Amino acid sequence: MKNKKYWLITSAITLLPIILGLLLWDRLPEQLPTHFGVDGAADGFSGKPFAVFGIPVMMLFFHIVIFFATRLDKQNRGHNEKVMNLVGLIFPAMSIVSSVIIYSLALGKEPDLAMLLFPMLGLLFIVIGNWLPKIKQNSTLGIKIKWTLYNEENWNKTHRFAGFVWVIGGILFFLMGFVPEKSLLFLLPLQVLLLAVVPMVYSWNLARKQRAAGTYTESQVNKELKKHPVIMAVSMTLVTVILVGVGIIMFTGNIDYTCTDTALVIEADYHADSTVAYDKIDSIEFRETAPEGIREWGFASARLMMGFFSNEEFGNHTRYSYTGTDACIVVTCGDDVLILNDKDENATRALYEELLVHMP
C-alpha cells in the first residue's frame, strides 16, 4: 500500500498489451474473439479497437479502483506488504493473459484453452486460498459479510476455513481441464457458487455458536462501518443480489413454443422472443444431434443457449436451445436458419411433428 511506485509499475504493465496490439495491428483481423464458452471455444467477437485498446484500459480502470479502495480503508494499513502487492498483480495478469489469448486466436493459433485456462484458474484460487488467512479484518478485502465484519474471531476463523476451501477448489479447477464439455456447463458455475457460499454458511454457523456461548462481540471494524451505514447496507445488498442473481440466471429459464394457426411463437426467458410464420418456412428437419456453432451474440447459461451463431454448415443462424438436449429442429426460411429444441428429445420430436402438421 505504501509503495505507490509499485502500483504505477503494475498500471503500466496492465497497458502493455496495447503496445503488442499496435505491433500486430496490420496482421490482426477487424473482428477478434473476446468471449469464450466453458469449452474454450470463442463465442463472442469485438472490433479491433476495443480488443486492442478497450480491454487493457478496462483492466486498468478496475486496477485503479482497487488501489484507491484499499488505500481509503484505514484497516488495510497494517497488512503485510506482500499481501497488498499480490492484490496489485490481479488485473495486470488478467490483462496480459487475456490479450495474448485473443491475439493468438486472431492470428490463427489454436491453443487448447481448456487445458490452459483451467490450470491458470486453479493456480489463482490456490494462491488466493493461501492469501485469505493472512488478511486482517477490514472492509474492502476478503469475505465481507455481516458475521465476519461484526466479530474479529469470526473473521479469522472464516478466512482460515475459506483458504482451505479455495485451495481444494483450485485443485479441482486443475482437474476440470479433463472433464467433458457438457459437464463443465454445470460444474463450473456450481463450483464457483459453492466456493462463495460454503464460507458464508460456515461464518453464519460460527456466529450462531458464538452467540450461544456468549462470545460474539462487536469488532472495531464494525464500529467504523456503523459510521457509514449506507456503505454497509449497499455492500451487503450487492453481495446478496449478485450471488442470488447468478444462481437464478445460471440454472433457470425456459423456452416456450406455441403453434398458432399461422405461425410458431417462441417466448424465451433472458432473450428476445420470436415469431416464425409458416408460409415463410421452406423446410424443417429433425436431427438427433445439434450442429456445433460459435455464439456471436446472445445468452448462455448452464440451462439455455440462445442468440446468433455461426458455423460452416449454416453460416450465420439463430438458435433457441436447451443445453441438456442433443436433438434439434432445423428450420430454414430463405437464407435464414433457425435451430431449436425443447427440454428433452421427446418434447423436441413432438414439436417437430406439430410443425409438420401446420406446414402449407
Q: What is the pLDDT of residues 41-73, one digit of tens each?
A: 565 677 888 889 988 999 999 888 877 766 665
Q: What is the pLDDT of residue 142?
A: 80
Supply 221's cell numbers. 471494524
Residue 107 has pLDDT above 50, yes or no: yes
Cα–Cα distance, 284 to 227 (Å, whole number): 65
| CA torsion through residues 46, 50, 51, 57, sign | negative
DSSP string, 266-331: EEETTS--EEEEGGG--EEEEESSPPP-EEEEEEE-SSEEEEEEEETTTEEEEEEEETT---EEEE
Between 110 and 315, the more confident residue is: 315
Instruction: Tell the residue number behind the cell numbers 488505500, with chain if given.
Output: 71
If pLDDT is split at 50, 70 and 90, which confidence band does 83 have? low
Give the single-character DSSP code of 85. H
Whether 284 shows a pLDDT value over 50: the answer reads: yes
- The predicted model gives 125-148 an average pLDDT of 81
Q: What span, in angstroms and rounded, lies between the C-alpha atoms of 272 and 287? A: 24
**Portion of the chain with pLDDT greater than 90, in percent:** 29
**Of the ranges 16-20, 84-88, 99-103, 162-166, which one carries the lowest mean pLDDT score?**
84-88
C-alpha grid cell, residue 271:
432473450
For 221, half-sphere exposure in the C-beta direction (CA atoms, 13 angstrom radius) is 23
Instruction: Return d(Cα 13, Cα 56) in angstroms, integer.
Output: 10
* Section 143-162 average pLDDT: 87
Residue 308: pLDDT band with limits 50, 70, 90: confident
**Residue 261 to residue 358: CA distance in whole angstroms:** 7
Residue of higher predicted confidence among 240 and 273: 273
pLDDT on residue 277: 93
- Among 12-26, 99-113, 149-163, 277-291, the range scoring the smallest mean pLDDT is 99-113
* Cα-based distances in Å from 246 to 196, 267, 282: 12, 21, 39
Q: At what angle are helices 90-106 and 16-23 packed, to 10 degrees? A: 10
SS3 label, residue 24 = coil
Mean pLDDT of the region 268-277? 88
Confidence at 238, pLDDT banded by 50, 70, 90: low
CB atoms under 10 Å from CB of 346, counted, come to 11
Say if CB 154 and CB 161 are below 8 A apart: no
Instruction: Report how far apart, in Å, the C-alpha atoms of 33 and of each of 30, 107, 308 are.
Output: 10, 11, 15
The Cα 333–Cα 246 span in angstroms is 35
Paired strand residues for 85: none
Give mean pLDDT, residues 4-17: 88
By CB neighbour count within 10 A (0-12 exposed, 13-18 middle, 19+ buried), where does 322 fall?
Answer: buried
End-to-end CA distance of the chain: 72
Strands (E), the chain: 31-36, 42-47, 255-259, 263-268, 274-277, 283-287, 294-300, 304-311, 315-322, 328-333, 336-340
Q: Residue 51 in contact with residue 34, Cβ under 8 Å?
A: yes
Q: What is the pLDDT of residue 251?
A: 75
Is the pLDDT at 1 greater than 50, yes or no?
no
Instruction: Give the least confident one: 121-135, 210-224, 256-270, 324-338.
Output: 210-224
Check whether 336 has a pLDDT greater than 50.
yes
